[in-house]
């Protein structure tokens, strides 16, 4: 951490700051006199020290600059610069998420609506190459009067679809009280964008052993997102997958959110955690999904989460951003072409499609 002292500050005050720093936190201050300003380097274990605590020592402090990252377990350095991977056990196979593995496809409806529909969808998307079925049992909705998900009965339908298709299941958890129940069915627990800083929930999913898909909050910075991941990792659960799903921008005329594809290469240098892109929520419009899915693979995403509904016009939620199964099949063919060019596509796909 670096303390910038206001120009014109007298030496005794600078010394007092140094003494307070070393007395209170056992940190060694090193004074660097500049032409206009003095800076004080703080040497020691400062990663979790709040810069504001330092700033308040003296009105002569102009700025306190934190140069250490505040996340540790999520940092790339934590794995000595190597990529990580999250391995998820599904009924049929182990699926690997990570930059040295093929792109993982996750697909399915926004909300689980009926057993017949979810089972049929699961089989269709599996045939097209998906490894996971997504589907909401508990739905976060802006309005209390909108459909809130079928809850427990939807969990049962997901369990059946899992068994029938062999796909892994990913579904959202919204309440600490529901975590253990959902973890009995899901292979991956999803923490939604609006709960990214629901710290009680992060602690809870950090204390159980199913992998967690952590969506980025609509106005979360990269650092806040990684700190949210750190909550789960610090809780003892090392299996966190990040998911970018669009952030809030000033222009919401044509897209529901602004999909931040640059997050993928940015995160690569900061963290070892695998990265998923959700172009469905990221744009809010089914006609934009194929282009943005291709873009996601080109920038290096490790997985794609795409909404697929047998009849989007009748979907109980998020219809306009859902592809039909036919559109999804067509898309996977196009994605395969780019994925193969970049060596990020499963070898056996040609057989499956």
**Region 253-272 residues binding a second copy, contact defined as CB under 8 A:** 253-255, 258-262, 264-266, 269-270
Mention every residue, 6+ apart, whose C-beta is less than 8 A from residue 334.
290, 294
Element (H, E) at 163: helix 152-165
Element (H, E) at 155: helix 152-165
Q: Does 292 bind a second copy (CB under 8 A)?
A: yes
Q: Does 79 bind a second copy (CB under 8 A)?
A: no
Q: Does 224 bind a second copy (CB under 8 A)?
A: yes
Site size toward a second copy (CB under 8 A) is 108
- Closer of 92 and 146 to a second copy (Cβ): 146
Q: Residues 140 to 159: which contact a second copy by CB under 8 A?
A: 140-146, 148
Q: Which of 2, 83, 160, 183 binds a second copy (CB under 8 A)?
A: 2
The CA-based diameter of the chain, rounded to the nearest angstrom, is 77
Element (H, E) at 233: helix 222-234
Q: Which of 93, 152, 209, 223 binds a second copy (CB under 8 A)?
A: 223
- Closer of 255 and 330 to a second copy (Cβ): 255
Q: Does 320 bind a second copy (CB under 8 A)?
A: yes
Of 128-136, 150-158, 180-188, 193-201, the window that binds a second copy (rule: CB under 8 A) is 193-201
Q: Does 300 bind a second copy (CB under 8 A)?
A: yes
How would you list the strands of the sheet with 38-43, edge to edge? 28-33, 38-43, 2-5, 61-65
How do strand 188-191 and strand 168-172 relate by DSSP bridges?
parallel
- Closer of 160 and 299 to a second copy (Cβ): 299
The DSSP output letter for 216 is: P
Q: Does 222 bind a second copy (CB under 8 A)?
A: yes
Q: Does 250 bind a second copy (CB under 8 A)?
A: yes
Q: Which of 11, 15, 68, 236 binds a second copy (CB under 8 A)?
A: 68
- Closer of 70 and 330 to a second copy (Cβ): 70
Q: Does 231 bind a second copy (CB under 8 A)?
A: yes
Listed in order, strand segments (DSSP E) in the chain are 2-5, 28-33, 38-43, 61-65, 86-89, 94-97, 104-108, 132-134, 168-172, 188-191, 212-215, 240-244, 275-277, 303-307
Q: Does 166 bind a second copy (CB under 8 A)?
A: no
CB of 305 to a second copy, least distance (A): 16
Q: Does 317 bind a second copy (CB under 8 A)?
A: yes
Q: C-alpha 302: how far from its chain's center? A: 12
Residue with tokens 């005794």: 12
Q: Does 252 bind a second copy (CB under 8 A)?
A: yes
The answer to whether 338 and 293 are in contact (CB under 8 A) is no
């Amino acid at each position: 951490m670096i303390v910038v002292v206001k120009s014109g500050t007298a030496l005794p005050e600078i010394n007092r700051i140094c003494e307070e720093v070393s007395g209170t936190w056992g940190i060694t201050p090193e004074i660097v006199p500049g032409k206009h300003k003095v800076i004080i380097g703080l040497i020691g274990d400062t990663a979790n020290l709040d810069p504001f605590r330092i700033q308040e020592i003296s009105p002569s402090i102009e700025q306190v600059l934190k140069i250490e990252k505040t996340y540790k377990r999520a940092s790339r350095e934590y794995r000595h610069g190597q990529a990580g991977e999250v391995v998820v056990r599904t009924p049929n196979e182990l699926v690997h998420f990570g930059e040295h593995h093929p792109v993982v496809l996750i697909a399915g409806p926004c909300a689980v609506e009926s057993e017949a529909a979810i089972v049929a969808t699961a089989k269709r998307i599996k045939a097209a190459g998906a490894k996971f079925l997504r589907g909401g049992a508990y739905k976060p909705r802006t309005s209390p009067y909108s459909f809130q998900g079928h809850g427990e009965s939807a969990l049962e339908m997901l369990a059946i679809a899992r068994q029938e298709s062999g796909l892994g299941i990913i579904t959202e958890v919204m309440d600490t009280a529901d975590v253990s129940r959902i973890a009995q069915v899901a292979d991956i627990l999803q923490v939604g964008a609006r709960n990214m800083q629901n710290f009680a929930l992060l602690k809870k999913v950090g204390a159980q052993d199913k992998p967690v898909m952590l969506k980025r909050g609509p106005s979360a910075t990269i650092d806040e997102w990684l700190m949210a991941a750190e909550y789960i990792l610090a809780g003892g659960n090392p299996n966190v997958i990040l998911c970018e799903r669009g952030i809030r921008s000033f222009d919401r005329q044509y897209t529901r959110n602004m999909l931040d594809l640059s997050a993928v290469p940015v995160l690569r240098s900061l963290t070892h955690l695998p990265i998923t892109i959700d172009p469905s929520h990221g744009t809010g419009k089914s006609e934009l999904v194929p282009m943005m899915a291709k873009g996601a693979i080109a920038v290096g995403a490790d997985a794609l989460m795409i909404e697929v509904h047998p009849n989007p016009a009748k979907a109980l939620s998020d219809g306009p951003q859902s592809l039909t199964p036919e559109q999804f099949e067509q898309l996977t063919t196009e994605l395969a072409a780019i994925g193969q060019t970049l060596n990020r596509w499963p070898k056996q796909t040609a057989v499956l499609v």
